[in-house]
Amino acid sequence: MPGFFASLVHNLGAGYRLATGRALAVEDVSCTLGQIVALVLILLLLNAGTSLVTTEAPVQFDAYGLNYLGASSLFSLLMLMLVSRLAGSSAARFIPMLIAFVSASVLIDLVSQLLWLAQQYFTLSATQAWGLFAVPLLWQWLVVVRLLRGFAGAGPLRSSMLGALYSLALFASFWILPRAELWYTDEAADQVAQAPGVELDVEAVFYAQPRLMRQSLAALEPQRPGVTDLYLLALGGFGLEDVFLKEVEFVRAQFDRQYDTVGRSLILANNPARVSQYPLASRPNLAQGLQGVAQKMDTAEDVLFLFMTSHGSRDHRFSLEFGTIELNDLTPQQVRQALDDAGIRWRVILVSSCFSGGFIEALQSPETLVITAAAADRTSFGCGVDSDFTYFGTAYFKQALPRQPRFIQAFDLANSWVSDREQQEDIGASQPQIFVGDSIAKKLDSLYREPKLQMAFSLAVPGELSACEDSRTQVESPSDACQP
């Protein structure tokens, strides 16, 4: 055993020399299967530890993060094997090359993780952030080039080109492989203990889902030929606070009245008061709900408004929480997949949660409008057991849409209202976000020209928004009122 640890230290020293530009020969590496396993475990523990430290409490482990680490490691191994063979290296030389590379990667990962930790205390420009991302990539390129030259005997140009091939493939893998962290923040977990006990018959609730989904989807009216219909799916994810149920019910009533969605709106909600009325806001029900809506609408002509409200986490998970009924959170990629599988083309998506800006990249398309209550790295405000509406929900649905019924233009009013309120209350800016696809604005114009919508729009109340004045008159909860 002492010999094993001595060899491990020896290999780490060899990796340090390789990563810092010093000479390294094949005989400087101790080649055994145990050494490969130990070095890979060190890398895994390094990544897991840094992820744990950088994740805000309450922390929850995600086994899918192991899948991502395994897939990315295997991809890196296969690319290293490919470039070594293209460089003319023999199979016998690949094992010491692999050990030297993994040993050097320990130092590269350590420095990269420390830089990542440090940047959280500073505000970086987009250029600086990309620079921070490029440093380890360039560093690995240099290591691969030195390995191909020293271990495979490749010339300077050949090794440089093959090193670039490896780095470009590694860069592409960040988009090819669906990323998942080992740890994530369950923003709602610390509130579960404080929330009133939710006594539910778990079996009865789950057995009721097929019936509730059938009833809800059967109540949807089919599209009207020659009419651009708007369909609404409103999802309230966190079942231990009534604010999210209040929002989805308010929005459905508002859209039925203002956007002619009567018979074309569907609610999925986690709330004990509505457990026998609405299907659960769960991942399978969302997928089935979108499929059911798609079957009733003309997917080439009609528009879907998907409204999602709940808590959110820093790694961009949308919370689906219902006490003793354990539900899986939603990721942006899962929402996108459900929409694509349903075949719904024209989409307006509003995600109201902390860190919801992280949904934009996955959901964007030319036929999509995406609105989020906060930037990818910012919290939003107004949720809680005493709240009747979130800040952004108040701004967009209660304040902006009654004055400006057009979804894109209403965002500007809502954004201004939220910003004013946050400044008045001296809290951090949530920075709501919007993405407008190249085709969706023109499509929405055709929707707004429908006669019934024109009648409703004529009732819009003009005027500027004042965060203090309007929140006092229209928000019922004292916790949501603007302070003098």
In this predicted structure, what is the pLDDT of residue 483? Answer: 29
Residue 260 exposed, middle or buried by CB count within 10 Å (0-12, 13-18, 19+)? buried
In this predicted structure, what is the pLDDT of residue 473? Answer: 33
The helix (run of H) or strand (run of E) holding residue 60 is: strand 59-61
Summary mean pLDDT of the chain: 85
In this predicted structure, what is the pLDDT of residue 165? Answer: 94
The answer, yes or no, to whether residue 63 has pLDDT greater than 50, is: yes
In this predicted structure, what is the pLDDT of residue 431? Answer: 93
Find how far residue 96's CA is from the centre of its chain: 39
Percent of the chain with pLDDT over 70: 86
In this predicted structure, what is the pLDDT of residue 463? Answer: 52
Helices and strands (H, E) in the chain, number of each type? 17, 8
Percent of the chain with pLDDT over 90: 55
Average pLDDT over residues 56-61: 69
Give the CA radius of gyration of the chain.
27
In this predicted structure, what is the pLDDT of residue 136? Answer: 86
pLDDT band at 64; cut points 50, 70, 90: low
The helix (run of H) or strand (run of E) holding residue 168 is: helix 156-176
In this predicted structure, what is the pLDDT of residue 1? Answer: 58
pLDDT band at 56; cut points 50, 70, 90: low
pLDDT band at 183; cut points 50, 70, 90: confident
Determine the Cα–Cα distance for residues 318 and 315; give it in Å rounded to an integer. 9
Verdict on whether the full-model pTM lies above 0.85: no
In 3-state terms, what secondary structure has residue 1? Answer: coil
User: Lowest-pLDDT range, 5-9, 196-200, 432-436?
Assistant: 196-200
β-strand 303-309 against 368-372: which pairing, if any?
unpaired
Q: Are 408 and 350 a contacting pair, CB within 8 Å?
A: no
- The answer to whether the bond into 178 is cis (omega within 30° of 0) is no
Q: What single string gives the DSSP state of each residue in 254-322? A: HHHHHS--TTSEEEEE--GGGTTTS----HHHHHHHHHHHHHHS-TTT-EEEEEEES-B-TT-PBP-BB
Terminal-to-terminal C-alpha distance of the chain: 70
In 3-state terms, what secondary structure has residue 124? Answer: coil
In this predicted structure, what is the pLDDT of residue 171? Answer: 85
User: Lowest-pLDDT range, 77-86, 102-111, 376-385?
Assistant: 376-385
Q: What single string gives the DSSP state of each residue in 421-432? A: HHHHHT------
Q: Write out the two tokens for 414.
A: 């809502």
β-strand 433-436 against 368-372: which pairing, if any?
antiparallel
pLDDT digits (tens, 9 = 90+) for 90-142: 877 888 999 999 999 999 988 888 877 776 666 556 677 677 778 888 999 99
The answer, yes or no, to whether residue 283 has pLDDT greater than 80, is: yes
Q: Are 271 and 238 a contacting pair, CB within 8 Å?
A: no
Determine the Cα–Cα distance for residues 219 and 261; give it in Å rounded to an integer. 12
The answer, yes or no, to whether residue 196 has pLDDT greater than 80, is: no
pLDDT band at 459; cut points 50, 70, 90: low
